[in-house]
Structure 1
Amino acid sequence: MKTCKLFKNIVWGMTLCGALCTTSCTSFDELNTDPTRMDEVNPGTLLNPILYETSVYNWKRYNSYTYDLMQCAVSTSSTNGVGWWYMTDSEGDGTWTTYYKWINNAKEMMRLTGKLPEASKQPNYDAISLTLQCWLYQILTDAFGDIPMSEACSADKGILAPKFDTQQQVYQQIIDNLKTANELFDKANGLIYNQSGEMLYKTSKGDATGILKWKKFCNSLRLRALLRVIDVPEFNAKQELRTMLTDPATYPVFESNDDAALLAISGTYPEEAPLTRPQDFTSYVQISEFFVNLLKGWNDPRLQVYATQVTLPDQTKDYVGLPSGYQTLPSTTASGLNQEMAKAPMKLAMMPYAEVEFIKAELLKKGVIDGGSNAAKEAYQKGVQAAIEQWGQKMPDHYFENPEAAYDDTLERIMNQKFVALFFCDYQQWFEYNRTGFPVLPVGPGIANANNKMPKRFKYPSALQRTNLKNYQAAKANMGGDDFHIRLMWQQ
């Protein structure tokens, strides 16, 4: 695995440095100062690039991978892509290199904090660094399995071929590190090096509100991690979840969309939209029949956000989906994707608030936590409402009077709504499907006749065999192989 240098590939707008000279003489040092590059490094200079670049990458990966894989969108130009569960060996290469690059920069935040004088220590930067590292490490281990963690990004220590930690080790460290981060957050200090506020919660010096939201993000991620391993015997996840959810003062989690980790970008430099050309979002792709019918069955207002209408033979307009996994392209006139979703201003989902409510609903339904007879229903309804309002839609007054949308005390109903709530949230729909088997996805004839199966993971990048062969072979042996259908520890 290649280790990234601190500023390699960080492209970010910086203000002019240095003051204008008021005399006719200019010093040699000033002449040799590049006014477009930062000349001072502190933990705050790294935060916005990490937030922006990782969130943009995740949006692009949903668009190019999860969207089709999970049968939400259907390509009209090919029948051998991820929508038919054909996988290339290099499918996960970009995820590996991109995440480790930004994990390295998150770790650098802690290194810089550690170099400050004792009186200037800033625990909030350490807490945020741990939170962001855990966020990215969990996606990595859920996508690959065993990964380097304890020795990752350690070229400064002379480690150029890091060992792979097992999934159990990685998850335990994520759970422990998020607990440590929760304890480190200090609302009194804010973020002194981000005087104009960081991108996610606009936190600046002395901003207790912003730090509380970061703390909620940290603990909400910990809920996600604990739920993922709830049935893995090596973890005491159920008790940990009970401890967290019965003590909100110690472990605050998201309580509204205002708390959610949704990165707002303006669309103007340096906050440009993920796609340079929004028309690329809608080229050779249409919304799927499965996704359209799911939302139509609920009379869900999000459908107008996600898709465009078509004119039917009787001249009425409606939403019509294209069957996914087809063998021969149907002649159906299907709805396209709504191009507005690819235009800024927009919000990029790191973790939505609705996910927390659906986690609670699942735990209440399973009896892991006790909240009373209607608690699971209430959490479910809060999750649905949050997911609808996240996309700027008004919650319909009689939404839950519809039998197809009402809470029915089944995991499937919870997971179907959670599936839509995780729309455009990196790989989370894929991960949750492999954990629970929901939603029940259609397997079109093009998939069935090719005997393709839903992938469980990515293959390791081929570069590992050249640069870290010994540790790659050890990880491969521990996992039982390196193919798309190796079952990870939390998968059903």
Structure 2
Amino acid sequence: MTKQRKLMKKLLINAALLLLLVGSFSSCKKKAEEDYQNPELTTSGNIGKLFAGMFFNKRIHPSYWDYYTILQSYSGAYSGLVSLVPSSTMYQTTSSYTDGRWTDFYNGSTGTDYNYNGPGILNNYREMQTTYNGLSTADQADQAVYMNLAKVIVADQAAQMVDLWGDIPFSKANSLNSSRQVEFAAYDDAAALYDTLIANLDQVNTFLTTATVAATESGNLKLYDRIYSGDLTLWRRYANSLRLRLLMRISNVSESKAQAAVTTMLNNPGTYPLISSNDQSALLWESPTTLVSDLLSAFTSFPYAPKFLLEDVLVANNDPRTKVMFDPDTANGYKGFPYNGTSTEYSNGGYASFDSATFFYNYNVPGVLFTAAEASFLQAEAYERWGLGTAATAYTAGLDQSVAFFYMMNTKAFNRSNQYKWATLSVNTDTVALWKAASGVAYTGTTTEKLAKIYTQKWVNFFIMQANQAWSEYRRTGYPAIQLPVSAGIQANPPVRFLYPSNESLYNTANYNAVKSKDTRDTKIFWDVN
């Protein structure tokens, strides 16, 4: 456990309370009442249900709070995907917002409104480990699949925590869920933790290569697994694609290590299959009649398209994704808010906004963990830098996959209380061909220019749903070549990391003091050597 605050025992004891975990993500209240008629009397965790509970975490399940407090206010704004109201405090982070992101990884929060609450990732996983260790050998064999799939979710979320803070408590964190003792957790070195996560994902791939699901768990796994409905082959692709992301993330600071591992992966696709089509992407779709991604308030709080993204990248190249990403202003069309615009100009409006069907009024915005386009762009980068394959082919595949992905999001939109009417949109193949041939998109130029195109298109594909990844890649690569406003306040520019929560210095004092010197807004994450 990190903070070991006074509320910790109440929050975590007896299988992390299991208060938030229903039998499946979509069965909701009825199933919850059947499974947990008195959850506070539960004395041991159910591994499958604890695994299912991870999808309730509001940093995985799309929530208003995550979009408003992190994806739009910070990571989206710092990576040029969101236009902030210009002010002297625009780069001063709100501690309750960043502290909430920290807490959601470790403890989560109780409550039934999943726009604001959900179980912690690490406390669920630690409880799974504790329960698993108490099983017989035979039962462990049946439950091992849940442990390995959960390890992928943990790796994904823990890496994001490193990307946001650097060193974090991990190895000894959430002790109440393991030792049942209050222990103050030391901070794991960020680079070493990345190595651990990369190794864990390799182990998961090995396990899933031959794994089978016990007959007693087959139905449960399909119910509990909200991403792939128990398809272990697809989980294997997700694990390997995530491992590729982490290896490329460290490739500028540990190039030989990353290159060796990536070369092995890309030269052996049978051993290391990756996500290669949109139907393999790691997406968490909503259940719009029972559990929704109600993001209208978040999008109306940060409505305007940034000029560079909209005008310089999308419109300038006749990008077919434009009309499913943004709505034109009635008077000015696809006009974006300039990086050096004023607060008065922001208030006066007249700029394009997020697309009404795909985002504003859509109850079915998915949780996006990994897309086929990202996997293709990662391969294109590796091929271009290290000569491992045909970069142009991978890059072009990423372009096609990204277009299809955004149109799929638009097509699967679930109308928010019938508040808006829209027509079904389809991809025009001629438009796509012209776009791919545009000078700003076509795979031509020097190696530096080609890499810039890969990074820029990956950034567009991340968009607001994966703004944390966009910010990380922008810090790693320096692309795209966005301009960010300079604030007249104390903090003239965006930070390069979040500050640790104040409770860390208050309750985990000794361990915090060991990393205190790194706790500045200008201390770069270890992979950020740009």
Shorter-chain TM-score: what band? 0.7 to 0.9
Residue in 2 that maps onto 1:123? 144
Find the partner of 1:292 among 306, 310, 333: 310
For 1:215, the aligned partner's letter is: R
How well do the aligned residues superpose, as a CA RMSD in angstroms? 2.9
Contact conserved, 1:416 with 1:438, CA < 8 A, in 2? yes
Deviation, 1:132, is 1.1
Alignment correspondent of 1:482: 519
Q: Determine if contact 2:17/2:42 at 8 Å carries over to the other structure.
A: no
Task: Name whichever of 117-126 and 53-62 sits farther off.
Answer: 53-62
Is the CA contact (8 Å cut-off) linking 1:106 and 1:132 kept in structure 2?
no
Instruction: Tell whether 2:462 aligns with 1:406.
Output: no
Give the alignment partner of residue 345 of structure 1, picking from 359, 364, 371: 364
CA positional deviation for 1:88: 3.9
8 A contact 1:360–1:376 mirrored in 2: yes
Label 1:441 to 1:250 Cα distance change in 2 as closer, same or farther (>3 A). Answer: same
What per-residue deviation string (whole Å, max 9, x for no partner) do you get for residues 110-140 of structure 1?
3333333322323211211211111111001
2:81 to 58, 72, 78: 72
Counterpart of 1:110 in structure 2 is 129
| Range with greater deviation from structure 2 (184-193 or 291-300) | 184-193
Q: 1:318-337, aligned counterparts within 5 Å?
A: 318-330=333-345, 333-337=350-354
Q: Which amino acid aligns with 2:443?
A: Y
TM-score between both structures, scaled by the size of structure 1: 0.85
Match of 1:272 among 256, 271, 292: 292
Cα deviations across residues 232-270 of structure 1 (Å, max 9, x unaligned)? 24971110111111112221111111111111112222x
Look up the SS of the partner of 1:239 in the other structure: helix
Post-superposition offset of 1:195: 4.9
The SS at the match of 2:366 is: strand
Greater CA deviation, 33-42 or 190-199? 33-42
Q: 2:202 aligns with which of 158, 179, 186?
A: 179
- Kindly tell me: are residues 318 and 18 of structure 1, through their superposed partners in 2, closer, same or farther at Cα, counting changes over 3 Å? closer
Deviation, 1:165, is: 0.9
Match of 2:229 in 1: 202
Partner residue in 2 for 1:49? 53
Shift of 1:282: 1.8
2:183 aligned to which of 157, 160, 163: 160
The answer as to whether partners of 2:166 and 2:497 remain within 8 angstroms in 1 is: yes
Q: Quote the Cα distance in structure 1 between the aligned partners of 2:37 and 2:306.
A: 54
Shift of 1:106: 2.3
CA distance in 1, matches of 2:41, 2:185: 32
Structure-2 change in CA distance of 1:466 and 1:197 (3 Å):
closer
Classify 1:63/1:328 alpha carbon distance in 2 versus 1 (closer, same or farther; 3 Å).
Answer: closer
Q: CA deviation at 1:326?
A: 2.7
Identify the match of residue 188 of structure 1 among 212, 229, 248.
212
Q: What is the CA distance between 1:476 and its match in structure 2?
A: 2.0
Shift of 1:18: 9.9
State the distance in 2 between where 1:39 and 1:129 align: 21
Local SS of the residue matching 2:203:
helix
> TM (normalized to structure 2)?
0.79
- 1:94 maps to which residue? 100
Conservation of the 8 A alpha-carbon contact between 1:305 and 1:338: yes
Amino acid at match of 1:112: T
When residues 80 and 325 of structure 1 are mapped into structure 2, their CA distance, relative to the original with a 3 A threshold, is farther
Which residue pairs with 1:437 in the alignment?
478
User: 4+ residue runs of structure 1 moved beyond 6 angstroms?
Assistant: 35-40, 448-451
1:353-409 deviations in Å (ceiling 9; x for gaps): 211111111111112x521xxx11111111111111111162523322211111124
Number of aligned residue pairs: give it: 457
What's the secondary structure of 2:369's corresponding residue? strand
Q: Which amino acid aligns with 1:188?
A: T
Corresponding residue for 1:255? 276
Counterpart amino acid of residue 273 in structure 1:
S
Aligned to 1:456: 496
Q: Deviations over 1:72-120 (max 9, x none)?
A: 23244x5245xx4333455521111101121221232333333333223
- Counterpart Cα distance in 2 of 1:449 and 1:464: 27
Residues 326, 447 of structure 1: 8 Å contact kept: no
Deviation of 1:450 (Å) = 6.7
Distance across 2 between alignment mates of 1:91 and 1:458: 10
Q: Relative to structure 2, which stretch is displaced further, 392-401 or 291-300?
A: 392-401
Work out the CA distance in 2 between the residues paired with 1:194 and 1:38.
21
CA change 1:116–1:299 in 2 (3 A) is same
User: Is the Cα–Cα contact under 8 Å of residues 282 and 339 in structure 1 kept in the other structure?
Assistant: no
Distance of 1:442 and 1:17 partners within structure 2: 49
Q: Is 2:177 the counterpart of 1:148?
A: no
Quickly say closer, same or farther: Cα 1:35–1:459, change in 2 above 3 A. closer
DSSP-derived class of the 1:360 partner: helix
2:380 corresponds to = 361
In structure 2, distance between residues paired with 1:280 and 1:234: 39
| Counterparts in 2 of 1:417 and 1:93: CA distance versus 1, 3 Å | same
Q: Distance in 1 between matches of 2:169 and 2:39?
A: 38
Contact 1:143/1:457 (<8 A) preserved: yes
Change (3 A) 1:397 1:36: farther
The change in CA–CA distance for 1:290 and 1:265 in structure 2 (over 3 A counts) is same
Give the deviation of 1:64 after TM superposition: 3.7
Change (3 A) 1:448 1:361: farther
Aligned partners of 1:457 and 1:484 also within 8 Å:
yes
Aligned 8 A contact 2:376 2:397 in 1: yes
Structure 2: which amino acid aligns with 1:93? D
Structure 1 gap segments, 5+ residues each: 20-29, 204-209
Percentage of matched positions with identical amino acids: 26
The 1:189–1:296 alpha-carbon spacing in structure 2 relative to 1, beyond 3 Å, is same
Q: Is 1:75–1:285's contact at 8 Å kept on the other side of the alignment?
A: no
Give the C-alpha shift of residue 11 in structure 1: 5.7
